[in-house]
Amino acid sequence: MRRLSGLGLLLPTALLAVAAMAVFVLSLVFWSRGVDESTRLREQELVRQGLASAIAEVEASIVPETTWDEAVLNLDHRGDLAWADANLNDFYALGFDFSRLLVVDGTDQPFYHRQGLDQVEPEEAPVEVFSALMSQVRAAETRRGPWRPAPGGHPDPIQASGFVAIDGRIRLATASLVQPDQGGVRPRGEQAPILLTLLPIEQVSIEVLQDRYLLGDLRTGLGAVSAGPDDAQLSIDVLDADAPLVLAWTPQKPGTALLRRSLLPVLAVLLAFGAVAAVMVTRARRSWRQQMAAQRTQAEFLANMSHEIRTPLNGVVAVASALERTTLTPVQREMVQIIRTSGLSLERLLSDLLDVSRMEAGTVAVTAEPFHLAEAVRMLETLLGPRATEKGLVLAVEIDPRAEALVVGDPLRLKQVLANLVVNALKFKIGRAPCRERV
């Protein structure tokens, strides 16, 4: 019983410690995954915004070439190809190397076409890839109406950009309306020329985005790229294509990195908990063995003392019983009964002491044997009647007729329970009313 008690106190503590560590580790794992996921989403948003900024930079590099009175004069009015060769190149200084550059007139027909830095035939211009962007520019031009000087002195550019797929490669297509800046020259028709450009995606600040946001293993592709489940991806619509442009990269994982760095401290804490638990278990077992040894010593002492006392006590009780069967005067018989009753009480006291020892050691046994219930109760009346008389009380036992029968149980334990009840009743009884025991 003591062993169960000691381990019963230790086991919940150990389980609580293990559960607390498990909760801590799981919380750390879930927290790290949450941090990695938020980092992935943040990188995707940063790349989306960075790509939009890169496209805006490309468009801004074209504005000085298209929103310019001189461009209106030479491209719209004169169709001067030599002027186009000489002046449509300032954006190269900004690092944008357009693979194609062409100009269409007010009827959307190309009259100037350049591939790289070389002028080629306008008929070879891939005007069809710009059809969607040209429609957007013409719609914006129609909404603006005839050109008028802007209140701030510089009109807003009319441009449209989008990604297109040409021969399986992705390029940024841009369409910019040619319009005056100061109004010294007005467009000669309802529709002004449009400058069209194609820029390889590698030059749309992709490398800059990779370096700026520390993107690992950046990959681009049309429709799909090789990407793992934890990779970050960004899909961008491609004009006149069924599949989008996909950017994929390996995002930073600060949560996983922190979790890996925390493994050794967590393992050290777990080992420390294990060592403490081992020490506690060892001490608990040692204490239990010491306590069990003390209980065995106590039980052996009580058993020996009980044997030593019970031997002469049995002689006293036996002699008193034999003397009671002889011819005695009433006073002598009463004295003999007192001797025998006292001997039986002492014998019961010894049995109680042994029972206490057995209960502490967890060895109390309840027997099942047949006995007469009424006779067991009457014996209590015989044993405890003199004690009631000493206190001026009357111990009366009323036995139900149904109790006059053999039953199966532990007569000794029953007598102990009833005796304790009667003794307590006699001990705390006040007055001279009869003390009754009903069975």
- List, by residue range, all CATH 3.30.565 domains of the chain: 296-438
pLDDT tens figures, 369-418:
898 888 888 887 877 777 788 777 888 888 888 888 889 988 877 877 88
Q: Determine which of 54-63, 193-202, 234-243, 271-280 has the lowest per-residue pLDDT on average.
A: 271-280
Residue type for position 55: I
Is 366 in contact with 413 (CB distance < 8 Å)?
yes
pLDDT value at residue 202: 77
Structural class in CATH, domain 296-438 = alpha beta
Average per-residue pLDDT for the chain = 83
pLDDT tens track for 56-92: 999 999 999 999 999 999 999 999 999 999 988 877 6
Diameter over CA atoms, the chain? 162
Amino acid at residue number 203:
Q
In this model, does residue 249 exceed pLDDT 80?
Answer: yes
CA angle at 241 for the pair 240 and 243, rounded to the nearest 5°: 155
Between 125 and 227, name the one with better pLDDT: 125
Indicate if the pLDDT at residue 11 is higher than 70: no
Cβ–Cβ under 8 Å, residues 48 and 233: no
- The per-residue pLDDT for 281 is 75
- Which range, 36-50, 306-320, 382-396, 419-433, has the best average confidence (pLDDT)? 36-50
303-329 pLDDT per residue, tens: 677 667 767 877 777 787 788 788 888
Lowest mean pLDDT among 240-244, 252-256, 356-360: 356-360
Angle at 430 between CA 427 and CA 433, to 5 degrees: 110
- Token duo for residue 318: 């036996």
Residue 2 has pLDDT above 50, yes or no: no
Nearest to 237 by CA among 128, 328, 162: 162
306 in Cβ contact with 348 (< 8 Å): no
**In sequence order, which residues have a C-beta less than 8 Å from that of residue 209 and are 6 or more positions away?**
47, 50, 51, 54, 215, 218
Which pLDDT score is estimated for 359? Answer: 66
Q: Is 229 helix (H, G, I), strand (E, B) or coil?
A: coil
The answer to whether residue 358 scores a pLDDT higher than 70 is: no
**Which residues are CB-contacts of 83 (< 8 A; sequence separation ≥ 6)?**
74, 75
SS3 label, residue 174: strand
Rounded Cα distance between 437 and 396, Å, is 6
Within 10 Å of residue 312's Cβ, how many Cβ atoms? 10
Confidence category of residue 357, pLDDT binned at 50, 70, 90: low
* Residue-level pLDDT at 320: 79
pTM above 0.75, yes or no: no
State the Rg of the chain over Cα. Answer: 54
Which stretches does DSSP call E strand in 323-426? 369-372, 395-398, 406-409
Determine if residue 336 is left, alpha or beta; phi over 0 gives left, psi from -120 to 50 gives alpha, anything else beta.
alpha
Whole-angstrom distance, CA of residue 240 vs CA of residue 64: 29
Q: What is the pLDDT of residue 177?
A: 97
What whole-number distance in Å separates Cα of residue 93 and Cα of residue 104? 24
Can you point out the beta strands (E) in 25-158? 100-104, 110-115, 118-119
CA distance 242 to 222: 9
